C-alpha cells in the first residue's frame, strides 16, 4: 500500500492478477502502470479471455477493490488521529511562543539599560583607571618588597622553630629576585643576610643528616632540602651512603655474631639466621635503595648526575651484599648434618625470594645473580655431602662385613652365611640411597621458588642428583672394588677373600638389576631431561661388571696363593732325598682338599654351579706314570725302564707340544666351577714349579706319587674339565721323576691302599 501511495512499482501486483494475460509491463494494459488505458485493457480482455476467465478476473478485481477500500479507510482513520494531535501541538506552540516573545522583549529592554549604565560608569572612571592600575601594581610590588625586607626575620624564625622546609621554600621564592637586583645596596644586604642564615641552616641540616638517630623520613627530608639549597649532589650521595653504610654494617656485625666462635656450633639455626638477615639487613637495604633512588636517581636534572648517583649506589650495594653473601655462605657451610634438610631448603627459598625483590629495585646490580649462585652452590655442596655420606655408609657396611667374617674365625665358630650378608648390605645401601633421594627431593618441591627456575632445575636434577650423587656413588663403589684388587701394599693383602667374593657378587647384582632400578627411580623422581649430557646406564653396568670381574679374578688369585703357600712350604721344608718310605698321605694334602671343599661351599652360596664337561668313569681311579704327562701313557707304562730314559723323555716332550696350553691366570666366569678351576690351576701350577726346584730320592718320588693320587681322588670333581687336573698332576709326577736320583715308582695298588687309609 505504501508503494502504491508513493507511486513505486509493486512486483506483487502481477501475482495478484493485476497484469492481464499478455499485458506489457508499463504499457496501456498494465493496470498498475503509469500509462494504463481502461478501454484498451477491456478490449484486450474481451478479445483474449474466455467468459470464465472474464468472470474470474471480475471476481479478483472486486476483491482487490474491497481490500483497497478497507486499507484506505484504515489509513484515513490513522491519519485523522495524527492530524488531531498535530493541531493540538500547534495550538500549544502558539501560546508558548507568545509568552517567549514577551520575555525576549523584556530581556532586550534590560540589556539596553545595563549597557547605558556601563557606558556611564566607564565615562566616569575613565580618568582614574590608569591611576588605579598603577596603584595596584605598586601595591603588589610593595608586598613583594615587604616580603623581601621581612625575609631574613622570617628565615630566622623558621630556623628557630625548626621549620626548615618552610625556610627553604621562602628562600627559594626570593633567591632569583635577590640575585637579579644584587647590584643594589639594599638588596645586597638582604641577600647577604639570607645567605648567612641559609648557610647556618645548611650546616644544621648536614649535622642532622650525619646524626645516626635520624630516621629514614628525616634523612630524606634533609637531603631534599640540601639539594634545594644547591649543595653538591656527589657529596650528598657519599654522605647518604656513608650514613646508611654505618647502620647496615652494624646489622652485618650482629649477623656475624650469630655464627658463633670459629669451629663451634652456630647460635641460631639456619632458618632463623636467614630470616633475621632478610627481615633486617635486606629489608633495610631495600629501604636505602628506594630512598636513594627517589632522592638522587629519579629526580629531574642533569643526566650525568643521575648516572653518577646510580653508579655510586650499585657499587655501595655490591660491596655490602658481598659481605652479607660471605656470611650466608659461612652459615650454610656449618650445615653438616646429612639427615632432613627441610630447614636449609626453606632458608634458601626465603633468601632467594627476598633477593628477587632487591633485584627489582636495582636491576643494574648483579646481586640477584650472585645470590642465585649461592643457592646453586649450596645445593651442590649438599649433594657432595650426601655423596660423602653414602660413601661413608658403604664403608661402614664393609667394615661390619669384615667384622662379621672375622669374629667367627677368631672365636672358632662357623663363618656367617655370605648370601645373608650380601642381602643385608645390598638392602642397607639401597634403602640409604632412597632416603638420600627423599632428602634431596625437597630442593625440587613445587612451593620452592628457585626449584622451577631453568638455571637451577635442569642442572640440579641431571648434573647434580643423577650424575653427581647417584652416578658418582655407583662409580665410587666400582672404584673401591678396584682398590681391593690391588696386589701391592696392605689393601690387597689384608682383604679377606670372602669379602672379595661378596663384593664381586654385589657388583654383578648392580650390573644386572640394581643400577637400572636406581637410575630409573632417580629419573622418575627428578624428571631428568633427556637432552642433558648424562652417563648412560649401559656404561655404568659395564663398569660394574668389569669391577665384579676384577674382584672375582682377584679372589681366585688370593685363594690360589693361600693354597699355593701351603704347598710351597711343604715342598721347601722337607728333605726329599733322605725321606723315609711313605706310609701316609701328607697332612698338607688333606688340608688342601679341606680348604678347596670349604671354598667350594663358600662360592656356592653366591654363584651358580656352572657347566662341567662329561667325566669319565675312571676319574677317581686314575694312575700316574713317572715319565709321561699324557693319560694314555700313564695307563700303559707301569714301570720304569732304565735302558730307555731318553726315548721316554723325548716322548713326553713331544706330547707336551700337542697338548692344549693351560692359561693359569685366565679370567674366570661368574660360576662356581670356573672359580674353583682357577684356584686349583694356580695351586697345582705352584706345586709343579716348587717340585722343579728340588732334588728327590726314591721315597721322595713315591711320596709325591701318593700325594698326587690323593689330590686326584678329590680335586677332579671341583673343576670344569678333569683332564686339566690329570694333566697338571701328570706334570708334577713326571717332573719329580726327572729330578729323582733313584726313580723307582711305587706300585699302584700300594698307593691306593695308602690313600684309602688316609
Hey, what's the cell of 308? Answer: 653518577
Q: 53 CB contacts (<8 Å, ≥6 apart)?
A: 21
Same domain, 695 and 586: yes
- On whether both 359 and 454 belong to a single domain, the answer is no
Cβ count within 10 A of residue 440: 24
Same domain? 301 vs 398: no
Chain centre distance of CA 687: 61
Q: What span, in angstroms and rounded, lies between the C-alpha atoms of 671 and 217?
A: 84
pLDDT value, residue 415: 63
Question: Do 461 and 588 share a structural domain?
Answer: no
Terminal CA-CA length for the chain: 143
Place of cell 628477587: 356
Going from the first residue of the chain to its last (758 residues), give the mean pLDDT of each consecutive group of 10, the final group possibly shorter. Answer: 64 47 68 83 87 89 91 87 86 80 88 90 75 74 68 74 74 69 71 74 72 61 72 77 85 86 74 89 87 73 73 89 90 79 86 86 84 87 90 91 77 70 92 90 83 75 85 91 69 73 91 90 77 82 92 90 91 88 89 91 87 59 47 33 40 48 69 88 90 90 91 84 85 90 88 84
Residue 597 C-alpha cell reads as 671343599
Q: Are 279 and 426 in the same domain?
A: no
Residue 475 pLDDT: 92
Q: Categorise residue 17: left if φ over 0, alpha if ψ from -120 to 50, beta otherwise.
A: left
Nearest to 162 by CA among 101, 207, 227, 102: 207
Q: How far apart are CA 109 and CA 100, in angstroms?
A: 14
DSSP three-state, residue 468: helix
Q: For residues 459 and 443, what is the distance between their CA atoms, to the nearest angstrom?
A: 12
- Residue 516: count other Cβ atoms within 10 Å of its Cβ: 15
For 256, the enclosing helix (H) or strand (E) is: helix 233-257
Which one, of 425, 419, 528, 414, lies nearest residue 471 by Cα?
A: 528
| Structural domain contains residue 710 | yes
C-alpha to C-alpha distance for 346 and 352, rounded to whole angstroms: 10
Main-chain phi, psi angles of 65, to 5 degrees = -65, -45
Q: Which of 524, 558, 592 is the last residue of a domain?
A: 558
SS (H, E, C) 553-592: HHHHHHHHHHHHHHHHHHHHCCCCCCCCCCCCCCHHHHHH
Q: What is the largest CA-CA distance in the chain?
A: 179
Which residue is associated with the grid cell 499485458? Answer: 23
CA distance 510 to 545: 8
Q: How many domains in the chain?
A: 4
What's the grid cell of residue 345?
A: 631448603
Q: Is residue 753 part of a domain?
A: yes
Which pLDDT value is given to residue 635? 33
Q: What are the helix (H) ranges across 334-366?
A: 342-361
Look at residue 377 and tell me if it is in a domain: no
In a domain, 749, yes or no: yes
Whose CA is closest to 710, among 757, 665, 671?
757
Rounded to 10 degrees, the C-alpha dihedral 416/418/423/425 comes to 80
Whether residue 431 sits in one domain with residue 341: no
Same domain, 102 and 67: yes
**DSSP label of 269:** -
117 and 75 in a single domain? The answer is yes
Residues in the chain: 758
Which of 161, 150, 230, 237 has its CA nearest to residue 198? 230
Which residue matches cell numbers 610590588?
141
Per-residue model confidence (pLDDT) at position 645: 40
pLDDT at 506: 92
The residue from 149, 169, 188 where one domain ends is 149
**Contacts for 418 with CB less than 8 Å, ≥ 6 apart:** 498, 501, 502, 505, 602, 605, 606
Q: For residue 629, what is the DSSP state?
A: -
Model confidence, pTM: 0.66
338 vs 483: CA distance, rounded Å: 26
Give the pLDDT of residue 637.
32
317 and 262 both lie in a single domain? yes
What is the per-residue pLDDT for 430?
93
**What is the rounded distance in angstroms from the CA atom of residue 639 to the CA atom of residue 636?**
9
Judge whether 155 lies within some domain: no
Helices (H), 609-697: 631-636, 645-658, 672-692
**Among 709, 700, 712, which residue's Cα sits nearest to residue 736?**
700
Residue 629 inside a domain? The answer is: no
**Within this chain, do residues 461 and 540 fall inside the same structural domain, yes or no?**
yes
Distance CA 617, CA 436 (A): 58
**Residues 436 and 528 occupy one common structural domain:** yes
| Among 658, 641, 623, residue whose Cα is nearest residue 747 | 623
Domain-located, residue 649:
no
What phi, psi does 696 have (nearest 5°)? Answer: -120, 150
488 and 589 inside one domain = no
Domain boundary among the residues 97, 128, 149 is at 149
Cell readout for 28 is 496501456
pLDDT of residue 648: 44
Is there a contact between 602 and 555 (Cβ–Cβ < 8 Å)? Answer: no
The alpha-helical segments, DSSP class H, found in 334-471 are: 342-361, 367-411, 418-440, 454-458
Beta bridge partners of 19: 30
* List of residues 6+ apart from 11 with CB closer than 8 A: none
Q: Give yes or no for a contact between 344 and 270, defined as CB atoms under 8 angstroms apart.
A: yes
The cell numbers describing 192, all together, are 647577604
Helix, strand, coil % (nearest 5) of the chain? 75, 0, 25
In a domain, 660, yes or no: no
Give me the domain span that covers residue 705: 574-609+665-757
Amino acid at each position: 500500500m505504501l508503494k502504491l501511495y508513493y507511486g513505486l512499482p509493486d512486483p506483487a501486483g502481477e501475482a495478484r492478477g493485476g497484469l492481464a494475460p499478455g499485458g506489457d509491463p508499463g504499457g496501456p494494459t498494465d493496470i498498475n502502470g503509469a500509462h494504463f488505458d481502461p478501454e484498451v485493457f477491456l478490449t484486450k480482455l474481451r478479445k483474449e479471455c474466455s467468459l470464465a476467465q472474464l468472470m474470474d478476473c471480475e471476481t479478483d478485481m472486486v476483491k482487490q477493490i474491497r481490500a483497497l477500500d478497507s486499507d484506505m479507510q484504515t489509513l484515513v482513520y490513522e491519519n485523522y488521529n495524527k492530524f488531531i494531535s498535530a493541531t493540538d501541538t500547534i495550538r500549544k506552540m502558539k501560546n508558548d511562543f507568545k509568552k517567549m516573545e514577551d520575555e525576549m522583549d523584556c530581556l532586550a529592554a534590560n540589556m539596553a539599560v545595563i549597557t547605558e549604565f556601563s557606558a556611564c560608569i566607564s565615562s566616569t572612571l575613565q580618568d582614574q583607571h590608569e591611576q588605579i592600575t598603577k596603584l595596584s601594581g605598586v601595591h603588589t610590588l610593595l608586598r613583594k618588597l615587604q616580603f623581601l625586607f621581612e625575609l631574613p626575620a622570617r628565615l630566622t624564625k623558621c630556623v628557630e622553630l625548626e621549620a626548615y622546609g618552610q625556610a627553604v621554600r621562602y628562600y627559594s621564592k626570593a633567591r632569583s629576585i635577590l640575585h637579579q637586583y644584587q647590584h643594589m645596596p639594599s638588596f645586597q644586604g638582604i641577600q647577604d643576610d639570607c645567605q648567612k642564615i641559609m648557610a647556618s641552616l645548611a650546616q644544621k641540616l648536614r649535622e642532622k643528616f650525619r646524626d645516626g638517630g635520624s630516621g629514614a623520613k628525616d634523612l630524606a627530608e634533609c637531603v631534599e632540602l640540601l639539594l634545594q639549597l644547591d649543595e653538591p649532589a656527589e657529596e650528598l650521595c657519599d654522605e647518604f651512603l656513608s650514613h646508611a653504610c654505618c647502620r647496615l654494617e652494624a646489622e652485618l656485625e650482629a649477623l656475624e655474631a650469630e655464627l658463633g666462635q670459629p669451629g663451634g656450633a652456630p647460635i641460631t639455626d639456619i632458618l632463623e639466621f636467614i630470616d633475621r638477615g632478610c627481615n633486617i639487613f635486606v629489608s633495610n637495604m631495600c629501604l636505602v635503595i628506594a630512598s636513594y633512588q627517589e632522592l638522587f636517581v629519579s629526580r629531574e636534572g642533569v643526566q650525568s648526575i643521575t648516572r653518577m648517583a646510580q653508579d655510586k649506589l650499585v657499587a655501595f650495594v655490591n660491596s655490602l651484599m658481598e659481605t652479607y653473601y660471605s656470611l650466608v655462605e659461612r652459615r650454610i657451610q656449618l650445615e653438616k648434618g646429612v639427615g632432613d634438610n627441610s630447614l636449609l631448603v626453606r632458608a634458601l627459598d626465603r633468601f632467594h625470594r627476598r633477593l628477587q625483590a632487591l633485584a627489582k629495585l636495582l636491576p643494574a646490580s648483579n646481586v640477584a645473580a650472585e645470590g642465585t649462585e649461592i643457592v646453586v652452590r649450596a645445593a651442590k655442596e649438599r649433594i657432595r655431602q650426601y655423596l660423602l655420606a653414602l660413601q661413608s655408609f658403604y664403608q661402614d657396611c664393609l667394615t661390619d662385613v669384615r667384622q662379621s667374617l672375622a669374629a667367627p674365625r677368631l672365636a672358632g665358630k662357623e663363618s656367617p652365611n655370605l648370601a645373608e650378608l650380601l642381602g643385608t648390605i645390598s638392602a642397607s645401601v639401597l634403602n640409604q640411597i632412597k632416603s638420600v633421594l627423599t632428602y634431596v627431593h625437597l630442593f625440587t618441591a613445587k612451593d620452592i621458588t628457585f626449584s622451577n627456575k631453568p638455571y637451577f632445575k635442569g642442572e640440579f636434577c641431571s648434573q647434580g642428583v643423577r650424575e653427581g650423587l647417584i652416578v658418582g656413588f655407583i662409580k665410587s663403589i666400582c672404584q673401591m672394588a678396584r682398590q681391593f684388587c690391588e696386589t701391592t701394599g696392605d689393601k690387597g693383602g689384608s682383604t679377606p677373600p670372602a669379602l672379595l667374593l661378596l663384593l664381586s657378587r654385589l657388583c654383578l647384582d648392580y650390573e644386572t638389576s640394581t643400577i637400572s632400578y636406581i637410575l630409573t627411580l632417580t629419573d622418575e623422581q627428578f624428571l631428568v631431561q633427556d637432552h642433558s649430557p648424562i652417563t648412560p646406564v649401559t656404561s655404568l653396568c659395564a663398569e660394574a661388571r668389569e669391577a665384579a670381574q676384577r674382584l672375582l679374578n682377584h679372589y681366585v688369585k688370593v685363594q690360589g696363593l693361600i693354597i699355593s703357600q701351603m704347598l710351597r712350604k711343604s715342598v721347601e721344608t722337607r728333605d726329599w732325598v733322605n725321606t723315609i718310605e711313605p706310609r701316609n698321605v701328607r697332612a698338607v694334602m688333606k688340608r688342601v682338599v679341606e680348604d678347596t671343599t670349604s671354598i667350594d661351599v663358600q662360592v656356592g652360596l653366591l654363584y651358580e654351579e656352572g657347566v662341567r664337561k662329561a667325566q669319565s668313569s675312571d676319574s677317581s681311579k686314575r694312575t700316574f706314570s713317572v715319565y709321561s704327562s699324557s693319560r694314555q701313557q700313564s695307563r700303559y707304562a707301569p714301570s720304569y725302564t732304565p735302558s730307555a730314559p731318553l726315548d721316554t723323555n723325548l716322548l713326553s716332550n713331544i706330547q707336551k707340544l700337542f697338548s692344549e696350553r693351560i692359561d693359569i691366570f685366565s679370567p674366570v666366569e661368574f660360576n662356581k666351577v670356573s672359580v674353583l678351576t682357577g684356584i686349583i690351576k694356580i695351586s697345582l701350577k705352584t706345586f709343579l714349579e716348587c717340585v722343579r726346584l728340588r732334588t728327590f730320592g726314591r721315597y721322595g718320588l713315591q711320596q709325591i706319587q701318593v700325594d698326587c693320587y690323593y689330590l686326584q681322588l678329590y680335586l677332579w670333581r671341583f673343576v670344569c674339565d678333569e683332564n686339566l687336573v690329570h694333566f697338571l698332576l701328570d706334570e708334577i709326577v713326571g717332573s719329580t721323576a726327572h729330578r729323582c736320583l733313584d726313580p723307582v715308582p711305587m706300585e699302584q695298588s700300594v698307593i691306593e691302599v695308602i690313600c684309602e687309609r688316609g
